[in-house]
Amino acid sequence: MKVLVPETEIQAAIAKLAGEIHAQYQDRPLTVLGVLTGSVILLADLIRQIELPLRVGLLQASSYRGATTTAGDFVINPDFIPDIANRDVLLLDDILDTGQTLTRILEQVQTLKPRSIRTAVLLWKHERTTFEVQPDYHCFRIPDEFVVGYGLDYDDHYRNLPYIATLDDEDIAATGN
């Protein structure tokens, strides 16, 4: 395991992000929409630092299957999206890679007629972003390496690490199966 972003840097970046969000949405009806499953740690840490009334929603979208980095079938489950008509929406994801996920989700969420949508991601692999989407907020730009931790998984392992790391062969072997 090699740590790419330590816990202290993540927490400092989230405090800064919370300040920017606070300034942007003062007195506005904010809904924070987290993309399952990778954004849940970020969602939990971030919303506790935003001192504004807000609602929380979740949506499921997946372009990745298992541990691979090949795009598979793209699935969006809107069942847990609350009513966002006329509300300001902040869409949260763990990482912006090719941009397909955020592009597809934005298309779908737009149909629900929010007043505005902005996007925030913890990590941005900007060299890999081929879709025409940019995050309104991002905490760290990272190189084109597969990372885990702070919500990001390898085959559903390692989401609980409080830092962002790359894996060695033995870390992959340790996941069993």
Is the Cβ of residue 29 or residue 163 nearer to Mg ion in the bound state? 163
Look up 97 and say whether it is catalytic. Answer: yes
Q: Which helix (H) or strand (E) holds 31?
A: strand 30-36
Quick check: 41 binds ligand 5GP (CB under 6 A)? Answer: no
The 153-172 contact track toward ligand 5GP, x by CB under 6 A, reads: x-------------------
d(CA 5, CA 108): 32
Given a contact cutoff of 8 angstroms between Cβ atoms, the answer to whether 130 and 103 are in contact is no
Other Cβ atoms closer than 10 A to 15: 12
Q: Is 97 helix (H, G, I), strand (E, B) or coil?
A: coil
Residue 95 interacting entry, from ligand 5GP, Mg ion, none, C-beta within 5 to 8 Å by type: ligand 5GP
Binding site for ligand 5GP (CB under 6 A): 38, 63-64, 93-101, 146-148, 152-153
What is the set of active-site residues? 97
Binding site for Mg ion (CB under 5 A): 38, 153
